[in-house]
Amino acid sequence: MSDLFQAKILLQVAERDLAMLSGMLNAGVFAEESFGFFVQQAAEKLLMVSSHSNFIAES
C-alpha cells in the first residue's frame, strides 16, 4: 500500500472519529473517558497523516 493511499485512509478514519465526537457532544450521555479516548484516537490518526504527508512531500 502506497504512503499516499495509507494517508488518505487514515484521514477518512480520523474524519469519522471527529464526526462521532460531534455526536457525543450533542447526546450528552457518553462518559467523559469515552470522549477522551476518541479525541486521542483522532489526534493519533491526524498525526500519522501529517507524518505520511511530510514523507510524500520530501520524495
The pLDDT of residue 11 is 86
Q: What is the pLDDT of residue 21?
A: 81
Position 24 scores a pLDDT of 80
Answering whether pTM is above 0.85, one says: no
How many domains is the chain partitioned into structurally? 1
* Three cell numbers written together for 17: 472519529
Q: Are 18 and 42 in contact, with CB atoms under 8 Å apart? A: yes
- Classify residue 41 as exposed, middle or buried by CB count within 10 Å of its CB (0-12, 13-18, 19+): middle
Domain that holds residue 36: 3-58
Q: Give me the tens of pLDDT residue by residue for the chain, a chain 59 residues long.
A: 677 888 888 889 888 888 888 878 765 677 777 888 888 888 898 888 888 766 555 55
